[in-house]
A and B are shown apart, each in its own frame.
Chain A
Amino acid sequence: MILKRLSFIVSLMLGLATLTPAFALAQVGATVTGSTTVSVTANLTVNDTKARDRGDKEVDRRIAALNDLNTRIQQMQRVSDAFKQSISATIAANITNLTALKAKIDADTDSATLKADLKSITEAYRIHVLIMPQGRIAAAADRVAVIVNMMGTLGSKLQARVQAAGQAGNDVTTVNALLIDMSAKLTDAQTKAQAAITVSATLQPDGGDKTKMDANNAALKEARADLVAAQKDLADARKDAGQIVAGLAKFNVNANASSTTQTP
C-alpha cells in the first residue's frame, strides 16, 4: 500500500515537472559585423558554450542515474509488477523530458534563454534531491526484505538442526540463544526497512521552500539511518548464523535433516 502511494506520489511529482519547449529564434552571430559587437558576441558565445557543455553533462548524468535506478527497480523482488511498471514509466517520462531539455539547451542561441534553461535543470527537476533517494531507499529496503526472507528460511533449517542436536543429547543452550538473537535481529531489520519506506515515501518536492527542503532532508536522513540499522541487524544475524553452523559442526548428529520453512 505504501509502495503504491510512493508510486503515485512519484508520478504526481514528476508529472508536475513538465517541460515547456520554447525554442529561441535568434541565430548565432556569424553574420554580425562591427568590432565592438563581434567582441561581445564572441565573449558571450564562449561563455554560452561552456555553460551549455556543463548543462549537457548535468542532463546526461541525470539520465544515466535514472536509467541505473530503473534497472535496479526492475530487480526489486518484494513489490508488485504494477509498482515496478509505474516507476519505470515515471522514469521514462523524466528521461524524455530531460532529453527534450537538453535539445532545447543545445538549440538556445541567446544567453538569457540559455541561463533560464540551465537554471531549470536544478530548480524544476528535483530528481537528485528527492526522487533518486526515494527510489534508492525503496530498493535498499526491498533488498533488506529479501535478505530477511532468505535468512528466515536459513533460520528454520538451523532450528531443525539444533533441535535434532538437542534430541541427540547435545547441550544446545548456546546455539538456541543465538537462534533467538538471530530471529530478533531479523524482525528488527524488517521493522527498520519498513520505517525507512514510511518516512520517505510521502515526501514531496520542496518547490524552493527551504523549510520544506530541510524537512525532506531530515526525513531522508532518518530513512537512511533506518537502513543503516537494518543493515547492521542483518550483519549481526548473519554472524549468529555462522556461529550456529560452527556450533552444529561440533555436535554428533545427522547432518541430513529436513526442516519446515517459516517465512518471516
Chain B
Amino acid sequence: MLKWIIGIVVIALAVAALWWSGWLGKITPSQTATSTPETSQTPQAQAPTNGMSASNDASDAAIAQDTTAIDAQLTGLTQDSASVDSSLNDKSVQ
C-alpha cells in the first residue's frame, strides 16, 4: 500500500516538474491551434464605389473621376428632393 502511495506521489511530482518546466505548456497551445482556425486581422481595403477612383489615388485623373462621380450623385439628390416635394404636395384625386 505504501509503495502505491509513493508511486502516485512520484508520478505527480514528475508531472508537476514537466508543467513547471513549460514542456506541457508547449503542447497544449499547439493542439488547440489545430482545432481553431485563425482569422485574419488585416483590414480589407474598401473597394471604391459609386464610380469613385481608388481612395489613395490623388492624381489629376482620379480627382476628375471622383468629381464626375460626385456630380452624378448630386443629380440623384436633385431627383430625390423632387420626389420629397412630390410626396409632400400630393393631392388625392377623390
Contact = CB atoms under 8 A, between A and B. Distances in A.
Do A and B pair up? The answer is yes
Given A72-B83, A146-B50, A234 B77 contact: yes
B58 A259 contact: yes
Interface string A195-235: 00000000000000000000000001100100110010011
Contact of B87 (A132, A227, A234): A132
A160 B55 CA distance: 12
Q: How big is the B interface, by class?
A: 20 to 34
A119 B92 CA distance: 11
Contacts of B59: 255-257
Interface of A: 54-55, 57-58, 61, 65, 72, 77, 118-119, 121-122, 128-129, 132-133, 135-137, 139-140, 143-144, 146-147, 150-151, 153-154, 156-158, 160-161, 220-221, 224, 227-228, 231, 234-235, 238, 241-242, 245, 255-261
A258 B87 contact: no
B63 interface: yes
A154 B90 contact: no
A132 B90 contact: yes
A147 B79 CA distance: 14
Given A136-B83, A150-B69, A245 B63 contact: yes
A125 B83 CA distance: 19
A245 B52 CA distance: 16
Contacts of B87: 65, 128, 132-133, 135-136
A121 B94 contact: yes
A122 B76 CA distance: 30
Chain B's interface: helix, strand, loop or mixed, by majority? helix
26 contacts: A57-B93, A58-B92, A65-B87, A72-B83, A77-B49, A122-B94, A132-B90, A133-B84, A135-B87, A140-B81, A143-B73, A143-B76, A147-B73, A150-B52, A150-B66, A150-B73, A157-B58, A157-B63, A158-B58, A161-B63, A220-B88, A227-B81, A231-B78, A238-B70, A255-B60, A260-B56
Given A132-B87, A136-B84, A154-B66, A143 B92 contact: no
Contacts of A146: 50, 73
Interface in B40-62: 49-50, 52, 55-60, 62
A157 B90 contact: no
Given A157-B63, A227-B84, 6 more contacts: A157-B57, A224-B88, A238-B67, A257-B58, A258-B57, A261-B55
A153 B93 contact: no
Nearest to A258: B56
A228 B93 CA distance: 28
A256 B58 CA distance: 6
The 7 closest A-B pairs by CB, nearest first: A157-B58, A140-B80, A261-B55, A132-B87, A259-B58, A128-B90, A133-B87
Nearest to A196: B84
Contacts of B78: 231
A156 B66 CA distance: 12
A193 to B, nearest CB: 10
Contacts of B88: 133, 220-221, 224
